Amino acid sequence: MLEKTTRMNYLYDFYQSLLTPKQRSYMSLYYLDDFSLGEIADEYDVSRQAVYDNIKRTEAMLEEYEEKLLLFQKFQKRSKLISSLKEILNENSEKNMEIFSALAELEKLD
């Protein structure tokens, strides 16, 4: 469930601009603000079932958009690549420090 919530949060983040204002409100109350279905139903004066159906449909839409555009998948790949590049840069700068201290020793020799 936690994994599904995280995934829905990401998909919502990437595709919210393609949703209707009502879909955005329900999704953001449910997934970001952790409202229950009943609380959202009270807020909008509709049945709990109506909120549930709307959210289920929206989740399916978000998955369809992801199937077509792969924005979340590409984001994950990009994040992984950026992390490895940062790690390489980090190792590199440690190596540079080693070179600096070897040069400092070299300077001290007569």
Nearer Cβ to a copy of itself (1/109): 109
Q: Are 31 and 8 in contact (CB under 8 A)?
A: yes
Cβ-contact 55, 30 below 8 angstroms: yes
Residue placing its CB nearer to a copy of itself in the complex, 44 or 65: 65
Torsion of CA 7, 12, 13, 14, to 10 degrees: 90
User: What is the gyration radius of the CA atoms in the chain, in angstroms?
Assistant: 24
For a copy of itself, give the closer residue by CB, 3 or 110.
110
Question: Which of 6, 23, 25 is CA-nearest to residue 72?
Answer: 6
Tokens of 6: 């995280």
Among 1, 2, 3, 17, binds a copy of itself (CB under 8 A): 17
Asked if 84 interacts with a copy of itself (CB under 8 A), we say no
Task: Give me the least distance between CB of 110 and a copy of itself, in Å please.
Answer: 13
Could you say which of 18, 32, 60, 97 contacts a copy of itself (CB under 8 A)?
A: 18
Whichever of 15 and 26 has its CB closer to a copy of itself, that residue is 15
22: its two tokens: 């009502």
Per-residue x/- track, 50-69, a copy of itself (CB under 8 A):
------------------xx
